Amino acid sequence: MRAAVITEVGQPFEVTEVTLDNPGPEEVLIEVRASGLCHSDLHVARNNVGFPMPAVLGHEVSGVVLAAGERVLDVKPGDTVVTSGVHSCGVCAACITGRQFQCTFPAATARPAGAPARLTLDGAPLTQFMGVGGFAERVLVHTRNVVPVPSEIPFAHAALLGCGVVTGAGAALNTARVRPGDTVAVIGCGGVGLNVIQGAALGGASRIIAIDLDPAKLEMAKEFGATDAILGTGDTVAAVRELTRGGVSHAFEVIGLKATTEQAIAMLGVGGTAFLIGVHQPGSTIEVTPFGDLMGKQKGIRGVSMGSSTIKVDIPMFADLYLQGRFKLAELVSHELGLDEIDAGYERIKAGGVARGVITRF
């Protein structure tokens, strides 16, 4: 099959022929129909974070099941499915209490040492990013990373359920547990940030403040439920504090920068929490004032992984909400592209005004 392979950090994606192994007892073979361009993939492609190369990136996938291992129980050939990067062993304390996103042994979904690689190039193993490797015509993944969804959902829309939706909306509903009357600020209104906004709207937040440097993204944020929009060129902290008479209940940082992370903490009201979603550069740090912020104003700082999602429950829930007209997916897809256009797709995202690019031509 064809896949977009990256051989070294900083190199372009190269579409070439690779080989998939046959499904194991708990594995699912999927024909990829759509694969989203997520910033997490770009971060690994452009920064030396210790990720093994060569690799096939991509993890936000929708497609059709071609084959399933003998111990796969919830999907079968012909089913429409999405993949997710939440890996869980299924037996640790976190997993059996419904916190699969905090699994103690997430590597349990990988093949054991000594087993043949799922994905190879000229006989040598290729790394599947987040256990998926979705920039390809097919993927072979563990059944715990696969979720069935209704076939009525277009593939380009369904793909976003596996990462952008659960990461963003999940952060609002699961991690922060936004409830009616809460106030929210979202710094960074790309694909994930827009989902934070519509998740906060679902939770009943009375004020949702979108912050971005791109006016086009701020206009999109209003469509997704933002009540206020602030262009991030001025004193955003002062503006938020004035709008909310002292600060927000929840601030979500969806960029991964020191300056915006510190702004998220500063714009909190007493007892508020900053939720860090954006991926920071390796070794980056932030500065906080323990006495003034964490103790005096009782603020909290929380890292978020995949929206604290239970994917076998949350993904079908968002799929149903979409079919009921209560959750936006189509509006997140800014453009569709081919497998050999990934580099150009990321350049378009960096240029602004784009929520999500999705590969649909393989």
What does the pLDDT look like over 7-22, one tens digit per residue? 999 999 999 999 999 9
* CATH of segment(s) 2-164+308-361: 3.90.180.10
Distance CA 177, CA 199 (A): 10
Tell me: the pLDDT tens digits for 162-178?
999 999 999 999 999 99
This prediction's pTM: 0.95
The verdict on domain 169-304 having CATH code 3.40.50.11740 is no
Distance CA 42, CA 157 (A): 20
The answer to whether the beta carbons of residues 32 and 138 sit under 8 Å apart is: yes
**Which candidate, 41, 192, 219, places its Cα nearest to that of 130?**
41
Q: Collapse the DSSP code of 266 into the 3-class scheme (helix H, G, I; strand E, B; otherwise coil) and give the result.
A: helix
Same-fold call for 2-164+308-361 versus 169-304: no
Asked if the model's pLDDT at residue 133 lies above 90, the reply is yes
Backbone angles phi, psi at 74, to 5 degrees: -105, 0
Q: Please tell me whether the peptide bond between 116 and the residue prior to it is cis, using omega within 30 degrees of 0.
A: no
Residue owning tokens 């998220």? 264
Tokens coding 308? 């604290």
Q: pLDDT at position 291, please?
A: 87
Counting residues of the chain whose pLDDT is more than 70, the rounded percentage is 100
Where in the chain are the domains? 2-164+308-361, 169-304
Tell me: the pLDDT tens digits for 265-297?
999 999 999 999 999 988 899 999 998 889 989
Kind of pairing between the strands at 300-303 and 138-142? unpaired
Of 42 and 136, the one with more pLDDT? 136
The answer to whether the beta carbons of residues 212 and 189 sit under 8 Å apart is: yes
Distance CA 160, CA 202 (A): 18
pLDDT band of 85, cuts 50, 70, 90:
very high
